[in-house]
Homo-oligomer: A and B are copies of this chain.
């Protein structure tokens, strides 16, 4: 069972954290007064602010830093596009139905749940300590039979553990075998289940008044970017490589959502499609800047051996040794890590896991997930795949649109090839309405075949060509009609379909996982939670608290709040009658990094105390100095330690 420690070494109690996040309205189940709908959540003011701050930082870190072309495409998507992309046929999870109760289970989750429960029962039977997730237990008690303390054979334990390590690697038939082999049933009723069937995860709808255009809500933002490739290349003045980017909601009709914000039916994504020439090893011009970034990697071979042991390595070495397929992919993996660290993610709770062969789409060259450690275990928050030329190719083939790059060759390319000339005057009368079909069949002949046919033609004066549907499938042509010669063709333009490297961010998952990692509670008091957001991410940067409701404080508060707003620093005033300690405690839970107290001394000499959320230490200085210090803290130019060194400490009353 997963468990997570805070930076101060406490075990994260998810039910305490969760109730704090709901009480402070970071998020709330959607439509709760109507009973709610599983997998749908609303973000309240602080959650929404953190979400906006993450998006803002993402835009600066990726889009602005690399001049990416941001686009905003529709969520409604007609059937044909998602048929071509493969989503209609393959974007599915495997579900098992209990024929008696009508309950529906997601097959891989069911296997996980049951095997984990058996392993736990085995530990209990062996008298080993079992970590208990109380919330999960409480829920289970209501509906699931209690775990039985049954000892398993050592070999069985090993098998179970290996199966769990590879759980993402199995398709439907494999899951069916596992379910049969380990006799996995409905955990509540012990009833047998029907074999897994595929359930498409797209929400379906119909566009227009006459219900004649079936469509879906997009499962990812990527397709809109691919479809616009040609226009984006033109906008980029035909220059390669380049990236497009998109931030927006996507949808997934989950079979049975659980795990709160981590598995939802509607979610915010930020995706990059970096288009790169497949020739020349997919080098990246700025790889040098990141090559020494150290990363924690979990490669596919280790996972297939049933282990989850990670390895520390610079991204430079990972690319050099071929573990990461190419520089461009490596560049983005390192940039993803730098982004996550800016958000406040703990580097020790971040790893990059490589996809196993079956887990990856068949066309992908390599794929890594950035995973964050949470109380639910390691959670995939960012995917980064080399999708090769797959997407542009399928849409090009389907529509005929030239989703390609054409570039003038520095040196013209000379191609020796077998060319065919047809005598059109004789050809027409001979084949009549079949002329087009025959010509097309001849055009499609491979170079090898052309070489062979030219010999035949020379030797016998005639050849036979296979043409489906004409003259019984074979057409005879003689020297009068056809000529085959080896000639040199000069190519001045090179045409190619770019490959795509796709970093894809689940913003909601990042938000939740990051919150679990910055959460801790004041020593000795579990109820006094703190969210240590970095200032850039915090919903509000500064809390202003007048000592009391005394009227002499009002003009100072007004002046401070206006001054900070002009500096672009978001702030809130809490002039409620609660004690200062209570007001700060409330804002610790909201993750407000700094607090300014306005007291009677302030009225006399216009000095204020500035409090740091994490240390609860305070300094005291003039209005201008305090405002300036806040600005430089929020913009990341100084740390609290810097400020504390240069401004006089205030020890009058430490406000925890």
The answer to whether A399 and B34 have CB atoms under 8 Å apart is: yes
What separation, in Å, do the CA atoms of A102 and B73 have in the docked complex? 31
The answer to whether B95 and A72 have CB atoms under 8 Å apart is: no
The answer to whether A235 and B25 have CB atoms under 8 Å apart is: yes
Known contacts: A30-B224, A205-B205. The answer to whether A37 contacts B576 by CB under 8 A is: no
Indicate whether A204 reaches chain B with its CB closer than 8 angstroms: yes
**Residues of chain B with a CB closer than 8 A to A32's CB:** 227
Q: In the complex, which of the residues B33, B49, B232, B266 contacts A76, with contact meaning CB atoms closer than 8 Å?
A: B266
Indicate whether A595 reaches chain B with its CB closer than 8 angstroms: no
Q: Mark A205-249, 1 if CB is under 8 A from B, else 0.
A: 111111001010100000010011011101101000000000011
User: Which one of A40-48, A131-139, A166-174 is at the B interface?
Assistant: A40-48
The answer to whether A210 and B37 have CB atoms under 8 Å apart is: no
**Residues of chain B with a CB closer than 8 A to A34's CB:** 78, 80-81, 227, 398-399
The answer to whether B31 and A78 have CB atoms under 8 Å apart is: yes
**Residues of chain B with a CB closer than 8 A to A73's CB:** 30, 42-43
Closest chain B residue to A208 by CB distance? B253
**Residues of chain B with a CB closer than 8 A to A231's CB:** 25, 28, 44
The answer to whether B255 and A209 have CB atoms under 8 Å apart is: yes
The answer to whether B76 and A265 have CB atoms under 8 Å apart is: yes
Q: What is the minimal beta-carbon distance from A40 to any residue of chain B, in angstroms?
A: 5
Q: What is the minimal beta-carbon distance from A67 to any residue of chain B, in angstroms?
A: 7
Indicate whether A128 reaches chain B with its CB closer than 8 angstroms: no
The answer to whether A224 and B37 have CB atoms under 8 Å apart is: no
The answer to whether A207 and B78 have CB atoms under 8 Å apart is: no
Known contacts: A32-B227, A227-B34, A576-B237. The answer to whether A76 contacts B42 by CB under 8 A is: no
Q: Mark A553-571, 1 if CB is under 8 A from B, else 0.
A: 0000000000001000010
Closest chain B residue to A104 by CB distance? B209
Q: In the complex, which of the residues B40, B72, B205, B208 contacts A48, with contact meaning CB atoms closer than 8 Å?
A: B72
The answer to whether B228 and A28 have CB atoms under 8 Å apart is: yes
Indicate whether A650 reaches chain B with its CB closer than 8 angstroms: no
Q: Mark A373-407, 1 if CB is under 8 A from B, else 0.
A: 00000000000000000000001001101010000
Closest chain B residue to A84 by CB distance? B34
- Give the residue among A73, A203, A403 with the most B Cβ atoms within 10 A: A73
Q: What is the minimal beta-carbon distance from A230 to any residue of chain B, in angstroms?
A: 8
Indicate whether A98 reaches chain B with its CB closer than 8 angstroms: no
Q: In the complex, which of the residues B67, B104, B398 contacts A210, with contact meaning CB atoms closer than 8 Å?
A: B104
**Residues of chain B with a CB closer than 8 A to A74's CB:** 30, 40-42, 265-266
| Copies of this chain | 2
Known contacts: A95-B209, A249-B75, A576-B237. The answer to whether A45 contacts B25 by CB under 8 A is: no
What separation, in Å, do the CA atoms of A633 and B315 have in the docked complex? 42
What separation, in Å, do the CA atoms of A228 and B41 have in the docked complex? 11
Closest chain B residue to A46 by CB distance? B235
Known contacts: A204-B205, A224-B30. The answer to whether A71 contacts B43 by CB under 8 A is: yes
Indicate whether A69 reaches chain B with its CB closer than 8 angstroms: yes
Q: In the complex, which of the residues B31, B71, B398 contacts A81, with contact meaning CB atoms closer than 8 Å?
A: B31
Closest chain B residue to A47 by CB distance? B72
Q: What is the minimal beta-carbon distance from A531 to any residue of chain B, in angstroms?
A: 16
**Residues of chain B with a CB closer than 8 A to A210's CB:** 102, 104
Q: What is the minimal beta-carbon distance from A74 to any residue of chain B, in angstroms?
A: 5
Closest chain B residue to A256 by CB distance? B209
Q: Which of A600-647 contact B (CB under 8 A)?
A: none
Closest chain B residue to A268 by CB distance? B72
The answer to whether A399 and B71 have CB atoms under 8 Å apart is: no
Indicate whether A199 reaches chain B with its CB closer than 8 angstroms: yes
Indicate whether A251 reaches chain B with its CB closer than 8 angstroms: yes
The answer to whether A205 and B207 have CB atoms under 8 Å apart is: no
What separation, in Å, do the CA atoms of A170 and B452 have in the docked complex? 77
- Give the residue among A31, A80, A232, A255 with the most B Cβ atoms within 10 A: A31
The answer to whether B95 and A71 have CB atoms under 8 Å apart is: no
Known contacts: A33-B395, A265-B76. The answer to whether A209 contacts B253 by CB under 8 A is: yes
Indicate whether A51 reaches chain B with its CB closer than 8 angstroms: yes
**Residues of chain B with a CB closer than 8 A to A75's CB:** 249, 266
Indicate whether A572 reaches chain B with its CB closer than 8 angstroms: yes
**Residues of chain B with a CB closer than 8 A to A251's CB:** 76
Q: In the complex, which of the residues B80, B199, B234 contacts A209, with contact meaning CB atoms closer than 8 Å?
A: B199
What separation, in Å, do the CA atoms of A38 and B265 have in the docked complex? 27
Q: Mark A13-41, 1 if CB is under 8 A from B, else 0.
A: 00000000000110010111110011011
Q: Which of A67-122 contact B (CB under 8 A)?
A: 67, 69-78, 80-81, 95, 102, 104
**Residues of chain B with a CB closer than 8 A to A33's CB:** 227, 230, 395, 399, 401, 403
Known contacts: A37-B78, A74-B30. The answer to whether A205 contacts B217 by CB under 8 A is: yes
29 contacts between A and B (CB under 8 A): A25-B232, A28-B228, A30-B74, A30-B224, A31-B78, A31-B81, A33-B227, A33-B399, A34-B78, A34-B80, A37-B78, A37-B207, A37-B213, A38-B208, A42-B228, A44-B232, A45-B70, A45-B71, A49-B70, A64-B565, A64-B570, A74-B266, A76-B251, A95-B209, A102-B210, A203-B207, A208-B253, A209-B255, A248-B249
* Contacts A47-B72, A95-B209, A237-B576 known; 11 new A-B pairs at CB < 8 A: A30-B224, A30-B227, A40-B74, A43-B72, A44-B228, A44-B232, A45-B71, A45-B235, A203-B205, A203-B206, A209-B253
